Amino acid sequence: MIRASVAAVTNLEDAGFLLTGASGGLGRPLAAQLAAAGARLVVSGRDADRLADLPGHPVTADLRLPGEPERLVAAALEHLGRLDGIVHAAGVVAFGPVADADDDLLDDVLLADLIGPIRLVRAALPALRAAAAEREGTVVAVVSAVVAEQPQAGMAVYSAAKAALTAFDKALAKELRRDGVRVLDVRPPHTETGLVDRALAGTAPRLPQGLDPEDVARRIVRALLEGEKDLPSTAFGPA
């Protein structure tokens, strides 16, 4: 079925969603709010214990590893029966000058923040296209970051990964426009998720008080419901 435009979801009742990074500081409120809106969830992260108290069916996965995105999508389809949407909120961060970033660190950041998400979306496309033929509003929402808009010194590798992810989202949206699959690129300002305290390398610079993850999650879910396709940092208001 060919569509000229992509419709809003309008409601999430009974929609089958895969949420990655579900056990993180943003993933937890996203899981709660998606479930409250009626979505049936598969929640994913690397730590099974941290997934145990979340709404939805837990599936552990490490998207940095080859084959894991495909396995995760297969597990989500087996549990949900169909895939109406993905919300990708997983990622890592690293701080420090490029000169100090060895090959292992480059691989970890780029695999987690760019290659893994691309592999995940690629694996999910057949199911998303199939669901779009039956239900208005099939969606891929990918959480990038404000550094995609404003790259930061001391965060060059992370900034590059997020900027590339945003470019991927924008190109993907053009590819999928006639398939009925909407792509939502999300670039929130600094948010108090605790990610900076779990950096793969380096120490975070002094940062202003970040946004409340509950508020950021609420804004993302609203965008899903209202058919938005782009959430720049300015869409979230001041921290």
Radius of gyration, alpha carbons of the chain? 17
Q: What digits encode the pLDDT tens for the residues 63-108?
A: 999 999 999 999 999 999 999 999 999 999 999 999 999 999 999 9
Provide, rounded to the nearest whole percent, the portion of the chain with pLDDT above 70: 94
Q: What is the pTM of this model?
A: 0.93
Q: What digits encode the pLDDT tens for the residues 25-49?
A: 999 999 999 999 999 999 999 999 9
Q: What is the DSSP string of 21-49?
A: STTSTTHHHHHHHHHHTT-EEEEEES-HH
Q: What is the pLDDT of residue 100?
A: 96
Running DSSP on this structure, what letter comes out for residue 82?
Answer: S
Cα maximum dimension of the chain: 51
Considering only residues 205 and 47, tell me which one the structure prediction assigns the higher pLDDT.
47
Running DSSP on this structure, what letter comes out for residue 53?
Answer: T
Close Cβ partners of 104 (under 8 Å, ≥ 6 residues apart): none
- Beta pairing, strands 230-231 & 85-88: unpaired
Give the chain's domains with CATH numbers.
16-234 (3.40.50.720)
